[in-house]
């Protein structure tokens, strides 16, 4: 088990290999514990951060089985 934090692993080493596996981009799933109002600065900052992180990534869809 590694002692890397999420930032050290996903943000600083994205695309590199760890134990033979490519490190994926970070996924922010614990960002807002309280509701944000439309247009709130926290919401705008979050959206801009997500846009910056997604820039250049390939859009993938789940596989569909017949």
Q: How do the pLDDT tens digits run along the chain, 66 residues long?
A: 466 666 666 667 778 887 888 877 766 555 556 777 888 888 888 889 888 888 888 877 777 776
pLDDT of residue 30: 53
pLDDT of residue 1: 46
Of 13, 31, 30, the closest CA to residue 22 belongs to 13
pLDDT of residue 7: 66
**Sign of the C-alpha dihedral computed for residues 47, 52, 62 and 16 taken in this order:** negative
Residue-by-residue DSSP string for 13-38: STTSEETTEEPPPP---SS-SS---T
Q: How far apart are the C-alpha atoms of 60 and 50, rounded to whole Å?
A: 16
């Amino acid at each position: 088990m590694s002692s890397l934090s999420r930032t050290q692993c996903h943000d600083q080493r994205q695309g590199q290999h760890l134990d033979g596996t490519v490190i994926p981009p970070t996924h922010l799933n614990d960002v807002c514990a309280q509701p944000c109002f439309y247009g709130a600065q926290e919401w705008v900052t979050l959206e801009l951060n997500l846009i910056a992180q997604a820039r250049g990534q390939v859009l993938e869809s789940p596989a569909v089985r017949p």
